Amino acid sequence: MHRPANVDNDRQLAEILEALSVISSHIPLYWPMHPRILARTGKGAIPLSGQIHIVEPLGYFDFLCLQASSAMVLTDSGGIQEETTVLGVPCLTLRDKTERPATIEYGTNRLAGTRKETILEAWNQSLAHPRKGQIPPLWDGKATLRCHAVLRKFPLCQSAVELQTQ
């Protein structure tokens, strides 16, 4: 979690942490804490369940490895929603809306909201009705090739594209 709406709002953060505390009584939670929230929890202002394992922030590849080996990821990050989709790992997004609707449409992600009640409802739905998600069309790692082909069709871009490929 790193979004100001989740991290800087004491009441909203308390709701999320209460839900995480309940979830952590069923499955271990490992939380590589973003510096934004680490600064707040480090001051003892936010009580955390002993079942939530705080991990120092991770580098990109270590974080991808952690996601790939997870049973589920809970996040408020749009980028992480996309990464879990590609990795085939179920995701609960701790927000009321997302700018990554394809992750929901193709079944890899569920919006959980930010209240304890809605997060636990999404958690229970994930357990009761797991989805077999899929990678959305065109998420095949070939976007550069498609862009290159389109740009070559325009005379002004054609010379620039040819220079780039030399």
Rounded to whole angstroms, what are the CA distances from 57 to 1, 24, 84, 92? 11, 20, 18, 20
Q: By the 8 A CB rule, do 142 and 136 touch?
A: no
Residues 6 or more apart in contact with residue 82 via CB below 8 angstroms: 100, 103
Long-range CB contact pairs, 57-62, < 8 A, 24+: 57/32, 57/33, 58/32
Give the CA dihedral 54, 59, 61, 66, nearest 10 degrees. Answer: 0
Q: By the 8 A CB rule, do 111 and 131 touch?
A: no
Catalytic residue, chosen from 2, 34, 129, 148, is 2
Q: Sign (positive/negative) of CA torsion 35, 83, 111, 66?
A: negative
Rounded to whole angstroms, what are the CA distances from 9 to 13, 22, 92, 131? 6, 20, 20, 32
Q: Is 2 among the residues known to form the active site?
A: yes
Just list the catalytic residues: 2
